Amino acid sequence: MRVAEVMSRNVRTVGNWESLEVPADLVRFGRYRALPVLDQQGQLVGMLSRSDLVELATPRGAPRRYKAVDLARAQPAFVREEVELDDAARLMLGKHLSTLPVLDASGRVVGLLTDDDLDAVLAGRRAPVRTLEEVPVWNVMTARPMTVEEGATLETAARMMLEGGYRHLPVVDNDGNLSGMISERMIREKLGTDLGSLYHAPPEATQDLVGNTMRPDPLTVRADAKLLDAFDLFADERFAALPVLDEDDELVGILSYVDVLNWLRERARSMGEPATATPAP
């Protein structure tokens, strides 16, 4: 059995340039105990553990914001997706790792192999399957999403989407509060062209403001809500992405139908035939 058959594909990562807030950013980890840290070229440069952030949040009076680059453990171990699971297990056991990033041939992080995944294989089964009523939104959402300001131009928003591969962006006001959502479709309809052909759009359209095009007062979902609640919104309201708020009404993530589909894909895989590989001790 190869690593690609067992690894978790719903990969969450942290940019080494990001500023992390404790304890708010703990929700980014979901079920993982560590997350890969990437540079601006998308290359793996370290690992950030949940325990590191928990320790920082414990002392009274400790600062609440930290640079990921200062917290990441450099030169992390990794494994290729085509590697045999036995070899990956030896690496994790030898280095006492709970989470191992999985890279493809181009060096891109495509998965995470956890000790829970190994435990499931050792027991001759897949990991327990959770239902839509059990999974919280924070476990599936994309945490700390890129945002765009109301006063930005549509050209700026379009370029952000193109460069980041986004189809939806939460819109914030001057105080950083959520005020709307803008999608690729909205911009495309306003410009009369694909985002990749901005130079064909009328200048007056590209320089129009995001606030004039966005959908104001968007429906939101709570980070601790169950995935079924968001699933109902996708089905009933026909929204493709929802901003995720914490208990203080702060924007902490975005949940798209793609995130839900990826989770459903992993769920379907976990319902497959029992695994039958035994990693070497």
Name the helix (H) or strand (E) containing 180.
strand 178-183
Position 10 pLDDT exceeds 80: no
The rounded distance, in Å, linking the Cα atoms of 152 and 169 is: 12
What CATH superfamily classification does 3-123 receive?
CBS-domain (3.10.580.10)
**With contact defined as beta carbons under 8 Å apart, do 254 and 143 qualify?**
no
The rounded distance, in Å, linking the Cα atoms of 278 and 85 is: 9
Query: What would the CATH number be for the domain defined by 138-262?
Result: 3.10.580.10
SS3 (DSSP) at 160: helix
Question: What is the location of CATH 3.10.580.10 in the chain?
Answer: 3-123, 138-262
The rounded distance, in Å, linking the Cα atoms of 147 and 124 is: 43
pLDDT in tens, 62-106: 556 778 888 877 757 898 988 888 888 888 888 888 888 999 888
Residue 81's pLDDT is 84
Question: Which pTM does this prediction carry?
Answer: 0.55
pLDDT in tens, 171-191: 999 988 999 999 999 998 888
Query: Rounded to 5 degrees, what are φ and ψ at 168?
Result: -145, 145
Q: Which of 54, 98, 50, 106 is nearest to 76 (CA)?
A: 98
Position 153 pLDDT exceeds 90: yes
Residue 263: CB partners within 8 Å, gap ≥ 6?
A: 10, 135, 140, 227
